[in-house]
């Protein structure tokens, strides 16, 4: 069948690996992967020349630009910029049109910006390292405890000037408000203690959906944080929405709106009174207030406690026998053969797994999450998003 766009590189890697095993007639292999023989030979040639990089999409941009800005126009733009080094493309274009009014056609603001960049006349702002996208796709909340949603309501100041940071946790299926607790700190330890208390009361969910803020995520491999590493060891899938898309956690955001209206407009006089207000809201929201999405039933009447109990002791991470287990050391690196792979602070002291899938490629795991693919020739890790492989333990 046709390859899905999000899995193109993975499918090409599988195609190469299958070819290397020499178990297929080439025409049948191409048919199995839904590509022509011409395309198959193209990927083999690219792989032999460039390795995994050769399997990535190539630019289709034309080598020749027939509509390139004339040199004398570029010179005028550069000269004007040098006279006014703080002006942006819009101001430069406006001034150029006034000063050289006989010129009939000027490039667009975007083109002028690109010209300035090519000439080194734009100070590049350092790029902030982005949090990698979620390792897991969103789960369906078909029954209670399939997915929990968690977030900080957003801090505000109560009457005595103290900062209020409430952590909220809901069950996506039943809409039950599992917790709404003001935390003194929003760090990993405080949030972990809050979740541990909720886990002991309600059991464990299969997945927890959050945003990309701390302590739910980090800029380490796979976007994992100390908190999400703990969830993975408990058998919980950490699922994260895309940055700037709170609607992907819409059920939780809708609860937040009601919570704000009922408890924080206006804020209470102190943190103690604010917490009491949250507690009253939680009881009414769960046990009295009918919910339209539940056919006017209450969340408490729909919710069923999880059968997965919070363990008194975490078991050590284990992998199938064909997966090589290695420890992540204090430096944040782990060693696989001659290769040092960087995992970052959240996985220090943890056991990761390496599974060779061909003579060149090796999957990297933590519990059941695939963190990337290691190129055994170059030592580079190919990162890709929203992929998971469930191992049989």
Contact 243, 153 (CB under 8 A): no
User: Widest CA span of the chain, in angstroms?
Assistant: 81
Helix/strand/coil for 149: strand
CA-based angle 358:355:242, to the nearest 5?
A: 105
pLDDT for 4 equals: 47
Classified as helix, coil or strand, 118 is: helix
From first to last of the 393 residues of the chain, give the pLDDT tens digit.
444 444 678 888 888 888 888 888 888 888 888 889 998 898 888 888 888 888 887 777 666 566 688 899 999 999 999 999 889 999 999 999 999 988 888 999 999 999 998 888 887 766 767 788 888 889 999 999 999 999 998 889 999 999 999 999 999 999 999 999 999 999 999 999 999 999 999 999 999 999 999 999 999 999 999 999 999 999 999 999 998 888 999 899 999 999 999 999 999 999 999 999 999 999 999 999 999 989 999 999 999 999 999 999 998 999 999 999 999 999 999 999 999 999 999 999 999 999 999 999 999 999 999 999 999 999 999 865 434 444 433
d(CA 153, CA 336): 42
Q: What pLDDT is recorded for position 389?
A: 40
pLDDT of 12 reads: 86
Q: Could you give the CA distance from residue 135 to residue 388 in angstroms, rounded to a whole number? A: 7
CATH superfamily of 147-302: Ribonuclease H-like superfamily/Ribonuclease H (3.30.420.10)
Beta carbons within 10 angstroms of residue 274's beta carbon: 21
Q: Cβ(189)–Cβ(214) under 8 Å?
A: no
Q: What is the DSSP letter of 142?
A: -
What pLDDT is stored for residue 6 in this prediction? 47
Q: What is the pLDDT of residue 243?
A: 86
**Domain ranges, ordered by start, for the chain:** 5-55, 71-118, 147-302, 324-382
Model pLDDT, residue 62 = 67
* Contact (CB, 8 A) for 19 and 7: no
ω into 215 cis (within 30 of 0): yes
CA–CA distance, 383 with 379 (Å, rounded to integer)? 13
């Amino acid at each position: 069948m046709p390859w899905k766009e999000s899995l193109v590189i993975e499918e090409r890697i599988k195609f190469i690996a299958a070819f290397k095993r020499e178990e297929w007639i080439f025409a049948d292999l191409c048919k199995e992967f839904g590509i022509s023989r011409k395309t198959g030979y193209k990927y083999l040639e690219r792989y032999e020349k460039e390795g995994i990089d050769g399997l990535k999409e190539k630019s289709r941009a034309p080598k020749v630009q027939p509509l390139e800005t004339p040199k004398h126009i570029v010179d005028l733009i550069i000269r004007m910029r040098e006279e006014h080094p703080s002006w942006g493309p819009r101001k430069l274009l406006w001034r150029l049109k006034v000063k050289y009014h006989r010129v009939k056609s000027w490039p667009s603001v975007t083109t002028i910006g690109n010209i300035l960049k090519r000439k080194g006349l734009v100070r590049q702002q350092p790029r902030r390292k982005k949090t990698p996208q979620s390792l897991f796709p969103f789960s369906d909340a078909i029954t209670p405890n399939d997915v929990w949603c968690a977030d900080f309501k957003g801090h505000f100041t109560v009457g005595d000037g103290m900062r209020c940071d409430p952590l909220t946790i809901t069950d996506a299926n039943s809409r039950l408000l599992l917790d709404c607790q003001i935390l003194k700190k929003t760090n990993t330890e405080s949030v972990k203690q809050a979740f541990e208390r909720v886990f002991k009361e309600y059991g464990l969910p299969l997945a927890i959906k959050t945003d990309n803020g701390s302590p739910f995520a980090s800029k380490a491999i796979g976007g994992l944080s100390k908190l999400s590493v703990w969830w993975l060891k408990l058998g919980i899938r950490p699922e994260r929405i895309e940055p700037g898309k709170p609607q992907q956690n819409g059920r939780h955001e809708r609860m937040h709106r009601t919570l704000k209206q009922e408890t924080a407009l206006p804020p209470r006089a102190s943190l103690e009174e604010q917490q009491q207000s949250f507690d009253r809201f939680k009881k009414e929201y769960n046990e009295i207030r009918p919910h339209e999405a539940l056919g006017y039933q209450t969340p408490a009447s729909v919710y069923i406690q999880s059968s997965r109990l919070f363990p008194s002791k975490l078991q050590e991470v284990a992998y199938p026998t064909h997966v090589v287990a290695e420890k992540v050391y204090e430096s944040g690196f782990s060693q696989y053969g001659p290769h040092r792979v960087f995992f970052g602070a959240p996985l220090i002291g943890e056991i990761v797994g390496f599974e060779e899938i061909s003579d060149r490629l090796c999957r990297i795991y933590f519990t059941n999450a695939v963190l990337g693919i290691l190129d055994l020739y170059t030592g580079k890790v190919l990162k890709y998003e929203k992929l998971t492989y469930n191992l049989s333990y």
